[in-house]
Amino acid sequence: MGSSFFKTQGGAISIEFACLFPMFFLVFYGLVGYSVPLLLAATYQEVASDALREAIRHHELQLGDPAALRASQEARVREVIAASWLPDTWARPCAGYAGSYLRVAGAEWSVCLRHDAPRSILPPLALFDWEIPSLPEEIRGEASIRIR
């Protein structure tokens, strides 16, 4: 079992590697592909909660003109979102929020942000009519609270 054994087996090892590499790559890409949307969903939820907390805190600290207070609250919400690690193009207001992240409907306050194209972050691989990973249409985080 000298060096001649390894010389004759060298081709078999490369064939095994060539056969197994796609499977290892798909497993790795699947792990990353399913972890990234979960991480983003948790991040969007945390940022929405922090922004809502800041809007409520800002509301309790200031009294005065309701229109100026609302504009100030929306500015604080945008500051919290901008301070997160999410790029500016990844945070969009949700549908039904009239172009703003903050919605106040009576006693219910909500903050919602979303990413409307998760496939642009991590494109899925198509293999035999399967998509790896199978991504949702949007990734969204929403926080709501009823005050008083």
Q: What is the pLDDT of residues 74-123, one digit of tens each?
A: 999 999 999 999 998 899 999 888 889 999 888 899 999 999 988 888 88
Give 12's Cβ-side CA count (13 Å radius): 5
Does residue 138 contact residue 95 with C-beta atoms inside 8 Å? no
Query: Is the pLDDT score of 2 beyond 60?
Result: no
Asked if 108 and 146 touch (Cβ cutoff 8 Å), the reply is: yes
Query: What DSSP element (H or E) covers 127?
Result: strand 125-127
pLDDT, residue 130, reads: 80
pLDDT confidence bin for 63, thresholds 50/70/90: low
Beta bridge partners of 146: 108
Give the tokens for residue 118.
């998760």
**Residue with the larger pLDDT of the pair 70 and 65:** 70
Under 8 Å between Cβ of 66 and 76: no
- Alpha carbon dihedral 127, 128, 133, 136, in 10-degree steps, equals 130
How high is the pLDDT of residue 52? 94
Q: How far apart are CA 52 and CA 72, in angstroms?
A: 13
